[in-house]
A and B are shown apart, each in its own frame.
Chain A
């Protein structure tokens, strides 16, 4: 009954129109590096005061959903992730576009985003209050174990050598230590520069390592003849592609929903884990990083599932599951609503209305994404001599836009140079980004755990959930030497065949 009531609240012409508008703004804002959905929601907030609560929050929630998808467009086309959650999409999306399969990558991003989004929303509509309590089970020790599990894929995240991946990851973790330390209040590596006091912001580094580094690389090839892709670049993915990735999409949707529910995690971490697991279970591991379609589906399904997941603690507990969810929480408060158990009991209509708004938003951007894919992918037909100078402007504006400060632009340029030389030396940006994303979490959650445990490391043993993730991490690290050893044994067992074949 509540569910139906919520649906009826949403099916009003103005509300639908607002959801539509929110979705389109979301896709555009998400696609532009430097403009984030949390910023767009914050800027729209004052205007929603004149609306009724349900249409207002429906519009903001739709914008949030669509923004996460939008980031993938620029990640695929010009290697400039429009938002941090799309970083992992660039790992394989850009190589696909470079190979002349932009349409396929964009179409796959749209479909898997929607699948992830719908999956998480259905789970939420069915079980939001019960799921919300998962958040209470996750303290610092559990986060630490989960992050260690995430980092266990570091050595194999890109096809480059394991040692180089580890060096890259360590560099990323090192970057994450810049700024005032959370648990001691001491400044690290700030060199007295106030702009570094709050740490290095994530977006300029992302734009630098991906887009700027690629731009410098492209500039080095300026004398090579113009190459043109044929119109097949606009082709959308076919049924065969979907047959290959449905398992990945399903797995990533589950991961994304779970990670999204945990407050303080969020879409970026969800996308990283979605990518990791897509690679781990894939039959084509060696193609990852070179343009594997599963590498697009994995992170995209996960990051959109996480947006739904993030709304669970936000609405059910009043605890924001992500930065944008925090702003939406502020929006509810402006309308005099208090998210939390109270809201769940007294205004279930409102909650279901929000979920349905997000569901409708998913369908709107599916249409927008699929129609758009054909047109957006034309960008990959632009000769690079014309495309990349434009991308440079976008990089500068994007880096500046984050905090309206020139220091972010300098960080972006430096990151670009570093990325360029690292690429040439055979390093991939993927482990650096992963180290940067997970570095904060791994360090802070360990420091917090140690205070909670009175500096006694042994107390980790008393936390079953943490032990479970530690075990997964050990399995993850051990699995590749183990499978190599098993292969070796099988070969040793069957020398006769080998001889015959030769």
Chain B
């Protein structure tokens, strides 16, 4: 009996030691990255490419967990239901911010914390060269006699919000034509059905280089290194039109700060490796896409405010 209690006491001590060391030993189990989009899409490919090196940096396995539906709402309710121990990350895009702003998400903007940005692809306003338009002012002016046919993705999505925010702040008249995907927007801009569109650099590059598309302005704070002659919308005197196809990872804000900091450090180190950088240049981006918590978290919040306002003006917010 005595021997047994001694063994039991020993085992209890051991167990206590084990749990304490487990707590300090973070990460201790595979890291899960929750996404909202189907396998093979941009978000999925970005997350998977990011994880190739991140696994090695973190020293544990990492995998992508797809939870489709509700414009990210299903992914958000899944991720927010997991323990806030830093083993669950969520890859977010402007779609999630829109779902939050429309009041359809189980969580609000104040419940998340940005960890690292993985892509930042500002929207460029381009026109078909056959329109003869060469500057943003000309576009605004000519739209007043007949609204400019402007292509983008789903109504209520980021392209729509960007186009309408631009229209509101510049006075341009925009007839927004929604399409299923980026490919259809480009073919219709090329074929002359559309006069203008908000495109990412990777989508517009072929048309710009062949001279079929004319880039007028960039919806970002700074010019793009690859398009040094194209001004930002802000330079032309129209403020607060900053929209970008951004992707990045977040955690719930209850995750301990030291764990969040460790995640930030390791993920950024992983993304600075050649594998991820080659992916970035393949989609027409550069190393400036990758940014830490400070920049990324502020960007999420600025974009959220813009989205919230424009959705209200479009009557698409409750």
A-B complex is real: yes
A residues lining the B interface (CB < 8 Å) = 38-39, 41-43, 45-46, 49, 135-140, 180-186, 194-195, 197-198, 263-264, 313, 317-321, 323-324, 326-327, 330, 332-338, 340-342, 403-405, 407, 444, 448, 451-452, 454
Please tell me if the beta carbons of A448 and B45 are within 8 angstroms of each other in the complex: no
CB contacts (< 8 Å) of B281 on chain A: these are: 336
Please tell me if the beta carbons of A334 and B278 are within 8 angstroms of each other in the complex: yes
Interface membership of B155, Cβ < 8 A: yes
Interface membership of B16, Cβ < 8 A: no
CB contacts (< 8 Å) of A323 on chain B: these are: 40
- Given the known interface contacts A198-B68, A403-B69, A407-B69, the answer about A184 and B45 at a Cβ–Cβ threshold of 8 Å is no
Please tell me if the beta carbons of A43 and B69 are within 8 angstroms of each other in the complex: no
Please tell me if the beta carbons of A334 and B66 are within 8 angstroms of each other in the complex: no
* Interface membership of chain B positions 58-98, coded 1 if the CB is closer than 8 angstroms to chain A and 0 otherwise: 00000001111111011001000000000000000000000
CA distance A41 to B44 in the complex (A): 12
Please tell me if the beta carbons of A197 and B177 are within 8 angstroms of each other in the complex: no
Interface residues of B in 34-56 (CB under 8 A from A): 38-42, 44-45, 48-49, 52
CB contacts (< 8 Å) of B77 on chain A: these are: 194
- Given the known interface contacts A264-B184, A334-B278, A342-B209, the answer about A403 and B45 at a Cβ–Cβ threshold of 8 Å is no
- Given the known interface contacts A195-B74, A403-B69, the answer about A42 and B282 at a Cβ–Cβ threshold of 8 Å is no
Please tell me if the beta carbons of B179 and A185 are within 8 angstroms of each other in the complex: no
Interface residues of B in 119-165 (CB under 8 A from A): 149, 154-157, 160
CB contacts (< 8 Å) of A42 on chain B: these are: 39-40, 44-45, 48
- Given the known interface contacts A180-B154, A198-B71, A342-B206, the answer about A334 and B279 at a Cβ–Cβ threshold of 8 Å is yes
Please tell me if the beta carbons of B71 and A330 are within 8 angstroms of each other in the complex: no
Interface residues of B in 154-201 (CB under 8 A from A): 154-157, 160, 175-181, 183-184, 186-188, 190-191, 193-194
Interface membership of B5, Cβ < 8 A: no
Please tell me if the beta carbons of A136 and B190 are within 8 angstroms of each other in the complex: yes
* Interface membership of chain B positions 287-318, coded 1 if the CB is closer than 8 angstroms to chain A and 0 otherwise: 00000000000000000000000000010100
Q: DSSP majority for the A interface? A: helix
CB contacts (< 8 Å) of B11 on chain A: these are: none
CA distance A180 to B49 in the complex (A): 30
Which 9 residue pairs are nearest across A and B when measured between Cβ atoms?
A194-B70, A185-B156, A42-B40, A185-B155, A333-B282, A327-B40, A319-B183, A139-B193, A42-B39
CB distance from A179 to the nearest CB of B (A): 10
Please tell me if the beta carbons of B155 and A263 are within 8 angstroms of each other in the complex: no
CA distance A323 to B183 in the complex (A): 11
CA distance A337 to B281 in the complex (A): 9
Contact of A403 among B38, B181, B202, B210 (CB under 8 A): B38
* Interface membership of chain B positions 202-244, coded 1 if the CB is closer than 8 angstroms to chain A and 0 otherwise: 1001100110000000000000000000000000000000000
CB distance from B91 to the nearest CB of A (A): 15
CA distance A180 to B178 in the complex (A): 12
A selection of 22 A-B contacts at a CB cut-off of 8 Å is A39-B38, A39-B40, A49-B52, A49-B275, A136-B187, A180-B154, A194-B104, A195-B69, A197-B104, A263-B184, A264-B183, A317-B206, A319-B186, A330-B40, A338-B282, A338-B284, A342-B209, A403-B38, A404-B68, A448-B179, A452-B177, A452-B194
Interface membership of B8, Cβ < 8 A: no
Contact of B52 among A46, A139, A332, A341 (CB under 8 A): A46
Please tell me if the beta carbons of B187 and A403 are within 8 angstroms of each other in the complex: no
Please tell me if the beta carbons of A338 and B205 are within 8 angstroms of each other in the complex: yes
Chain B residue, CB-CB nearest to A337: B282
Please tell me if the beta carbons of B193 and A333 are within 8 angstroms of each other in the complex: no
- Given the known interface contacts A136-B191, A338-B282, the answer about A183 and B67 at a Cβ–Cβ threshold of 8 Å is no
Interface membership of B109, Cβ < 8 A: no
Contact of A264 among B71, B155, B180 (CB under 8 A): B180
Please tell me if the beta carbons of B175 and A451 are within 8 angstroms of each other in the complex: yes
CB contacts (< 8 Å) of A403 on chain B: these are: 38, 66, 68-69
CB contacts (< 8 Å) of B186 on chain A: these are: 317, 319
Please tell me if the beta carbons of A405 and B68 are within 8 angstroms of each other in the complex: yes
CB distance from A397 to the nearest CB of B (A): 16
Interface membership of B262, Cβ < 8 A: no
CB distance from B20 to the nearest CB of A (A): 35
Contact of A341 among B38, B210, B275, B316 (CB under 8 A): B210
Please tell me if the beta carbons of A182 and B155 are within 8 angstroms of each other in the complex: yes
CB distance from A233 to the nearest CB of B (A): 36
Chain B residue, CB-CB nearest to A403: B68
Compute the total of residue contacts between A and B using a CB distance below 8 Å: 155
CB distance from A411 to the nearest CB of B (A): 12
Chain B residue, CB-CB nearest to A197: B70
CB distance from B203 to the nearest CB of A (A): 8
Please tell me if the beta carbons of A197 and B282 are within 8 angstroms of each other in the complex: no
CB contacts (< 8 Å) of A444 on chain B: these are: 180
CB contacts (< 8 Å) of B205 on chain A: these are: 338, 340
Please tell me if the beta carbons of A181 and B74 are within 8 angstroms of each other in the complex: no
CA distance A404 to B38 in the complex (A): 10
With A180-B71, A185-B155, A333-B202 known, 15 other A-B pairs at CB within 8 A are: A42-B40, A49-B52, A138-B187, A138-B191, A181-B155, A182-B154, A185-B154, A194-B104, A197-B104, A313-B187, A327-B40, A330-B45, A336-B281, A404-B67, A451-B177
Interface membership of B22, Cβ < 8 A: no
CB distance from B226 to the nearest CB of A (A): 13
CB contacts (< 8 Å) of B278 on chain A: these are: 334-336
Please tell me if the beta carbons of A197 and B69 are within 8 angstroms of each other in the complex: yes
Task: Pick from A323, A333, A340 the residue with the most CB of B within 10 Å.
Answer: A333
Chain A residue, CB-CB nearest to B194: A452
Interface membership of B283, Cβ < 8 A: yes
Chain A residue, CB-CB nearest to B316: A185
CA distance A448 to B294 in the complex (A): 41
CB contacts (< 8 Å) of B38 on chain A: these are: 38-39, 403
Please tell me if the beta carbons of A405 and B191 are within 8 angstroms of each other in the complex: no
CB distance from B174 to the nearest CB of A (A): 11
CB contacts (< 8 Å) of A263 on chain B: these are: 183-184, 187
Please tell me if the beta carbons of B187 and A319 are within 8 angstroms of each other in the complex: yes
CB contacts (< 8 Å) of B284 on chain A: these are: 338
Please tell me if the beta carbons of B283 and A333 are within 8 angstroms of each other in the complex: yes
CB distance from A182 to the nearest CB of B (A): 5
CB distance from A339 to the nearest CB of B (A): 9
CB distance from B156 to the nearest CB of A (A): 3
CA distance A340 to B284 in the complex (A): 13
Please tell me if the beta carbons of A313 and B40 are within 8 angstroms of each other in the complex: no
Please tell me if the beta carbons of B40 and A38 are within 8 angstroms of each other in the complex: yes
Interface residues of B in 247-291 (CB under 8 A from A): 275, 278-279, 281-284
Contact of A335 among B48, B66, B183, B282 (CB under 8 A): B282
CA distance A324 to B41 in the complex (A): 10
Chain B residue, CB-CB nearest to A37: B40
Please tell me if the beta carbons of A341 and B175 are within 8 angstroms of each other in the complex: no
Chain A residue, CB-CB nearest to B150: A451
Please tell me if the beta carbons of A405 and B187 are within 8 angstroms of each other in the complex: no
CB contacts (< 8 Å) of B175 on chain A: these are: 451, 454
CB distance from B63 to the nearest CB of A (A): 11
Interface residues of B in 89-119 (CB under 8 A from A): 104
CB distance from B35 to the nearest CB of A (A): 11
Chain A residue, CB-CB nearest to B48: A46
CA distance A143 to B38 in the complex (A): 25
Chain A residue, CB-CB nearest to B206: A340
CB contacts (< 8 Å) of B68 on chain A: these are: 198, 403-405
CB contacts (< 8 Å) of A39 on chain B: these are: 38-40
CB distance from B18 to the nearest CB of A (A): 33
